[in-house]
Amino acid sequence: MTSSAPAAVSASVLDLAPVVPVVVLEDAADAVPLARALVAGGLPAIEVTLRTAAALDAIRAIASEVPGAVVGAGTVLSPAHVTETVAAGARFLVSPGWTDALLDAMKASGVPFLPGVSTTSEVVALLERGITEMKFFPAEAAGGTAYLKALSAPLPQARFCPTGGVSLASAPSYLALPNVGCVGGSWMVPGDAVAAKDWARVERLAGEASALGRG
């Protein structure tokens, strides 16, 4: 990390907010107003996925222009992604899965990270490496709340951010589980609202998400 990069997140990513917006941006010019709307709605942790060419510029813009945001990088798939996103100002990293090389790079980055898991063996392998906070992906397809509830008894030390198919309606069921710290979702950043630059709608949806209880 360069000396000009933002300070690392001191608290757990899982505890920043009940919901982490998963953002896909085609135009980096939308990054700042979108992030400001999400922060105003009570969702400071923002995961910008590396699914578009605009992602790095979007992370850079949010990190430098939206002080209330804690911007992270999602869909981190390689050590190069780790280097590029942290240099751009990412303050946490999220991957859909992990390899030894990717895990080593994320651990060496100096910022919090959530490696993705979808099986018990993957969870145990991470616990063996001293990692207790993970992304559960794809949450709904991989077994949803029933699967996570089943994991909580034998593996209580593992905590998760379920992402993938989670909605405003299903999020409370996830958040009620003792091994879930937050959920990831994109329902508060619908594509039509972003295309129309309807930031007031994004802020309203973010407010609904941030108000979600835990049971």
Q: Collapsing DSSP states into helix, strand and coil, what is residue 26?
A: coil
Active site residue 135: yes
Cβ(76)–Cβ(51) below 8 Å:
no
Element spanning 58, H or E: helix 55-65
Is 107 part of the annotated catalytic residue set? no
Q: Tell me if 40 sits within 8 A of 7, measured CB to CB.
A: no
- State the catalytic residue, choosing from 128, 135, 140, 149: 135
Which residue spans within the chain are E strands per DSSP? 19-23, 45-49, 70-74, 93-94, 113-114, 116-117, 133-136, 159-162, 183-185
> How far apart are the C-alpha atoms of 35 and 59, rounded to whole Å?
10
Record the tokens describing residue 114, joined without a space.
Answer: 């959530």
- Choice among 26, 47, 133, 149 that is catalytic: 47
Contact in structure between 184 and 135 (CB atoms under 8 Å): yes
166's CB contacts (< 8 A; 6+ apart) are 139, 140, 174, 183, 184, 185
Catalytic residues: 47, 135
